[in-house]
Every structure is written in C-alpha cells, then in structure tokens.
C-alpha cells in the first residue's frame, strides 16, 4: 500500500497521520519476517529516538484492529505481526522461531466442522504448522 492510501486509511479510522506511524508500517511491510513490536522498535528507534516500545506495540495493535495487519499466533512469545492480508498459512520453526508464509488451496478449502459452524461465526481459516525449518535441520546435522 502506498503512503497516500495508508494516510487515507488512517483518516477513515480517525487516526492522526504521524511520521512514526508511517515508519512503523513501512518497517513492517518491508520486513522479510513476521516481526514483533520489539523488532520494529529496534529498527526505528535511531530514526525516532523519542519513540517508546509501548507506542510501537500499541500502534501495531491498532493496525491489527483496523485490518492493516494480522497478529500471528504464537506460544507465549511476543506477538508477531503479518502485513500479508491475502489468504495464506504459516509454518513456525520450534527451534529458531522463524515464521514462513505458505499458500495451499487444499488448506484454504478445509471444511469447518459442523459442531463449530453451528455454534460460532467463523470469520477466517488459517493453518499453522510447526516443526524444524531447513536451516535449523542443517545446523543440527
């Protein structure tokens, strides 16, 4: 999303357009990983020395609330954020914590069990796989 469109989204949600918010979003979408608030904070604090980790975290949570990013579920680790809003799934390495996007039409088409459909309104489906990535396997050999 270009800056003009991002500014429009901010205004639609009554958010001030600030250089810090833009920097946080740009850092997120330019990342090749699924960064945490800590990762983004570390990358932009030199450019914005007065920014706090709390501000970065709250900004990312706001981005998730308004649909700019998704939160990737993890196991007690800091929340990780994903700017990829297209249907996809995740593989998470249990050794290094890396999260890798993957696309699979069969997983996209998984049917939700009727016991859940009857009780809940399902708004999305994502498959999360865990294992050991190729890099960690190579290091273990």
Nearest to 18 by CA among 57, 53, 48: 48
pLDDT band at 141 (very low <50, low <70, confident <90, very high): low
**What local confidence, expressed as pLDDT, does residue 99 receive?**
92
Alpha-carbon span 29 to 121, nearest angstrom: 30
- Does the structure show a pLDDT above 70 at 76? no
Contacts of 73 (CB under 8 A, 6+ apart): 128
Q: Residue 139: enclosing H or E segment and its boundaries?
A: helix 134-140
Just give the CATH number of 3-80: 1.10.10.10
Residue 82's beta-bridge partner residues? Answer: 70
Each residue's pLDDT tens digit, 103-138: 999 999 999 999 998 999 988 888 899 999 999 998
- Gyration radius (Cα) of the chain, Å: 17
Each residue's pLDDT tens digit, 37-56: 999 999 999 999 999 999 99
**pTM to 2 decimal places:** 0.82
Sign (positive/negative) of CA torsion 46, 47, 51, 53?
A: negative
Just give the CATH number of 86-140: 3.30.1490.190
Give me the residue spans of the domains in the chain: 3-80, 86-140
- Does the structure show a pLDDT above 80 at 73? no
């Amino acid at each position: 999303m270009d800056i003009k469109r991002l500014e429009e989204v901010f205004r639609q949600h009554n958010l001030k357009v600030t250089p810090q918010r833009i920097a946080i979003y740009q850092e997120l979408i330019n990342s090749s990983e699924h960064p945490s608030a800590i990762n983004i904070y570390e990358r932009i604090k030199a450019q914005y020395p007065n920014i706090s980790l709390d501000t970065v975290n709250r900004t990312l949570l706001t981005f998730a609330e308004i649909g700019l990013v998704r939160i990737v579920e993890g196991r007690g680790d800091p929340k990780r954020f994903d700017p990829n809003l297209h249907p996809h799934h995740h593989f998470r390495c249990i050794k290094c914590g890396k999260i890798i996007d993957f696309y699979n039409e069969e997983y996209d088409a998984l049917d939700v069990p009727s016991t859940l459909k009857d009780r809940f309104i399902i708004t999305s489906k994502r498959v999360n796989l865990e294992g050991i990535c190729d890099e960690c396997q190579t290091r273990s050999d």
